[in-house]
Amino acid sequence: EAQVTQNPRYLITVTGKKLTVTCSQNMNHEYMSWYRQDPGLGLRQIYYSMNVEVTDKGDVPEGYKVSRKEKRNFPLILESPSPNQTSLYFCASSFLLGGFATEAFFGQGTRLTVV
Amino acid sequence: AQKVTQAQTEISVVEKEDVTLDCVYETRDTTYYLFWYKQPPSGELVFLIRRNSFDEQNEISGRYSWNFQKSTSSFNFTITASQVVDSAVYFCALSEARQGAQKLVFGQGTRLTINP
């Protein structure tokens, strides 16, 4: 089954404790990205990757890191989480069509609470 | 600058009414893609439609239809004879390529409530 898998689904952590949210896709998509969803703000792109070892900042990259060592995986790293990073996070993947990301397949979401 | 604007934060209608969700986008590119996604109360994001900038034909899929007008930079979504199961948050999104970078930008979303 084609899917994007994020883990964990729910996470409560304390300020400053490093954490990683994993994301894996089995569709051989080139393009992967991370979003955070906050009330009234829609989905905002954190980082994206157009292929292995190619990553770039989205609109809200501060406080986040990513890596793309393998095509299927795109983990999101919070080195020192803060309460303002409490949010619902989505990972997504897409094919690139003529250089453009096509429709995104989304993971189930990770609800992160930083206390 | 806001790239995708969904001015309607919340809409509430009675079942069987028609409802239109507005989406206005901003881009300097001539080639781009537009999308609509649905997020039901369960939280997942469901792809509904993709439209490229060279295809201005309107599309109909069952009770759903989309009206793409480049002249007004709009990509509106209409649900005909709405049903309670249509209750969800709907997102419009723009995919554009700039200087080799490819970005997918979402609007703020419109929360649609269909009342029985």
Count how many pairs of residues, chain A against chain B, have C-beta atoms within 8 Å. 68
Q: Cα–Cα distance between B48 and B103 in angstroms, integer?
A: 19
Q: Do A42 and B108 touch (CB under 8 A)?
A: yes
Contact between residue A109 and residue A7 where contact means Cβ atoms under 8 Å apart: no
Q: Can you name the residues that pair with A87 across neighbouring β-strands? A: A112
Buried b (16+ CB within 10 A) or exposed e, A2-18: eebebeeeebebeeeee
Q: Cα–Cα distance between A69 and B22 in angstroms, integer?
A: 39
Interface of A to B at Cβ within 8 Å reads 31, 33, 35, 40-45, 48, 50, 56, 58-59, 88, 90, 92, 94, 96, 98-106, 108-109
Per-residue pLDDT band for B29 (boundaries 50, 70, 90) equals confident
| Percentage of chain B exceeding pLDDT 70 | 93
* pLDDT at residue B54 in the model: 87
* pLDDT at residue B101 in the model: 60
Average pLDDT (B12-23) is: 97
Summarize pLDDT for B84-112 with one digit per residue, the tens.
Answer: 999 999 999 998 766 556 678 899 999 99
Minimal Cβ distance to A102: which of B6, B43, B50: B50
Per-residue pLDDT band for A16 (boundaries 50, 70, 90) equals very high
Q: Tell me the average pLDDT of chain A.
A: 94
φ, ψ at A16 (rounded to 5°): 90, -10
Contact between residue B4 and residue B25 where contact means Cβ atoms under 8 Å apart: yes
Average pLDDT (B68-94) is: 95
